[in-house]
Every structure is written in C-alpha cells, then in structure tokens.
Amino acid sequence: MSTFSSFPGLLFGETHAVWHTDARVFADQMNNHAPGVNAYDPIGRASEFSSKMNTLTLPAMQVVAAVMSPSYLDRSAPKKATLKIPLTGDFNCMLDSRLHVCGADVGGMYFPQGSGGVKGNGGACSQVSLQFDPQVLTNTARAMLGLPGHAAVDLKLQNPRVTPLTVAGQPFGAVLQHLGALIDLHQCNGQVLAQLGLQDMLYRYIAQMLQPGMFQAQTAHPRTAADSAILVAQLCEYMQAHLEAGLTLTDLEAFSGLSARSLQMAFKKQLGCSPMQWLTMQKLHKVHDKLARADSSESVTSLAVTYFPNLGDFARYYRRQFGELPSR
C-alpha cells in the first residue's frame, strides 16, 4: 500500500504542497497548469492513490514539480512546448502512434507545442515539467552559439523525442536539486528568481538537452589581443550602462556576438575574472558610492535592491569586497 512517507519529496515547494488522495481532484489541478487532461486514473486501487504538485511561474516559463503514485494519463495536444524530466521512477507515453520510454535512468521527454494527443502510464515517480517559449529558446541558443540575430538555429522543436539527462557531462537531476533549493530559498518568487538568472539558466540547459551535439561542437572564436581588448572594453561599457537591467550571460552573448566560452576567455585574459564576476563588482561599487552619499531618509535595502534582488547575497558580497557591513 502506498504511504506518504515512502514518497520522495517535491523538487521545490514541499512545505506548501498538499497531498491529493482523489485522482479527479489532482487531475483538475494538473489541468489548471496544463489544459487538455482527458483522463487521469490511478493504476491499482483508487484508495491507494496519492499525488502532490507545486508550480513556479517565471516571466517566460512555468516549472511544475510533481510526485505521483502509479497512474494512467490521457491528454490532448500540449498547448506549450514541454520538457518533462523524471527525477525518480519511469513512465511510458504513446505519441503519434510511437511509444517513448522515459525514466530517471533512461531520459526525459520533449513534447512539441501543438503535437498530437498523449497517452501514458508509469509507476510511482517524481518529475519536473518545464513549459517554455520556443522563440525564447531559439534566441537563447543563437546567443549561446555567438550567431547574429537573423541566423537560423534548428533545435528540431517540431520533433518529439526522448532527451538525455546530462548537460555538458553533468547529470541534470543533480543540477535541478541545487536549483530546487534556490527556488525554496526565495519562496517560489518568480520575479526575484528571474532577476537572479534562473529562467535564463533553465533555457540554456534546455537548449543543450534538446541538441547536445550543436553545443559540443562549439569552439571559441580566435581573436587577436587587440580584438579581445576592444571587445572587453565595449562589453564593460555596455554593462556599466545597464547595471539595473538584471543582465544575464545570454544577454552578454547576444550583445557581443560571441559564445559564453569566448567571453570567459577574453575577460579572463584582460581582467582576470569572468564577465558576470566583473558585473557583480560594478554593482557593488555602485551601491557603495550611493551609500557613501546617502542621507538619513535612505535605507541600505532601498539602495541595494535595484541591483541585488537577493539582499543576503548582497550583504555577503559587500562585506567580502569592502571588509564591512553595508550598514556601516
């Protein structure tokens, strides 16, 4: 018999999740986040059914964490492109008359936006669904590859398929566990998490999981010392002018036309640090200057939050850089 204690926890939102012991109620909750559920039934005794879920909404992505006992699902074509990542357990799905076998030791499953209806079943499992915008993903991949905005990038988004569960040789499940802890730390606040770069990071992972060969073949662009110096100077000027914009690595790739690897190499050579480390340093100095000129009506929080959505991280970085607390 299934027991709550025998189930794994959700990737995030465990403390606020509600157990469902009625499959129909759980199906209604699923349908709210991903409309199109035609049938959702427990496998085995209905009295032994138990499931729970939680959702994180980001500006251009929805992340759904779910745990469920053995179940059968029949749903219409997904309205959003979705990558389903099993953390424990496995599931099978029939899509366009083709059987796909997925699981924590096998692979994830990509469902294109508007693809055919899906019928599937699986044992007790924990999984995460990433519902994303195909255009944002394409733009992210283009920036990662250092391609101009008009260049074609074929991620084969029209093809449903089983995906690897590794990114750059690292197990994606382990990466997700760290991200889940970050989501819980910020209490599923999508706005703050997006400012911290979580959405951009997930899009970068999705691109590499859907087309790993495209990024494995990527090489750094050879540049002369003069070219590198000019590039770094231009990018530093751009970052200085956009300190409040919450720039991500993908933004820097898009502006420079270079891949992350090329950017890292150029900055390391010229400034001895990564682009994002340099950006953090400039933000710290900006807040430091504002604090030095602040009057009694201004607080540390009001001055820092524009540049650092996570005030705990800000205080730690600030003390490491200046040897004192921001309040001093």
Enumerate residues 6+ apart whose C-beta is below 8 A from 56. Answer: 12, 13, 62, 63, 64, 65, 183, 188, 190, 193
- Is-contact 54 12, C-beta < 8 A? yes
Amino acid at 95: L
Q: What pLDDT sits at residue 220?
A: 45
Tell me the mean pLDDT in the region 31-48: 87
The pLDDT assigned to 128 comes to 96
**pLDDT reading at 3 higher than 70:** no
The rounded mean pLDDT for the chain is 86
Q: pLDDT class for 5, splitting at 50, 70, 90?
A: low
Write the CA distances from 54 to 13, 190, 248, integer angstroms: 6, 13, 26
Q: Tokens at residue 205, please?
A: 């992972």
**Identity at 113, one-letter amino acid code:** Q
Beta bridge partners of 146: none
**DSSP characters for 257-288?**
T--HHHHHHHHHHHHSS-HHHHHHHHHHHHHH
Strands 108-111 and 166-167: unpaired
Q: In what order do the strands lie in the sheet with 125-132?
A: 51-58, 61-68, 125-132, 81-88, 108-111, 161-163
Q: State how far the Cα of 265 lies from the Cα of 254, in Å rounded to an integer.
A: 16
122: nearest Cα among 85, 68, 81? 68
**Please, are residues 88 and 104 in contact by the beta-carbon 8 Å criterion?**
yes
Token pair 């002018």 in the structure block, residue: 241
- Residue range 256-274, pLDDT digits in tens: 777 788 888 888 888 888 9
**Average pLDDT of the segment spanning 233-249:** 86
Q: Quote the tokens at residue 302.
A: 């009001």
User: What number of other Cβ atoms are within 10 A of residue 238's Cβ?
Assistant: 15
Structural domains present in the chain: 1-218 (2.60.120.10), 219-328 (1.10.10.60)
Please, which residues bridge with residue 91 across strands?
A: 102, 122
How far does CA 225 lie from the centroid of its chain? 35
Say which residue, 126 or 7, is predicted with more confidence: 126
Q: How many other CB atoms sit within 10 Å of the CB of residue 165?
A: 23
Residue 8 has pLDDT above 80, yes or no: no
Q: Output phi, psi for 52, to 5 deg.
A: -155, 160
Is a pLDDT exceeding 90 seen at residue 321?
Answer: no
Query: Residues near 308 by Cβ (< 8 Å), separated by ≥ 6?
Result: 283, 287, 314, 317
SS3 (DSSP) at 185: helix
Tokens 């394409």, located at residue: 138
Structure tokens at 132: 């994303």
The DSSP call for residue 8 is: P
Q: What integer pLDDT is reported at residue 226 of this predicted model?
A: 63
Q: Does residue 101 contact residue 123 with C-beta atoms inside 8 Å?
A: no
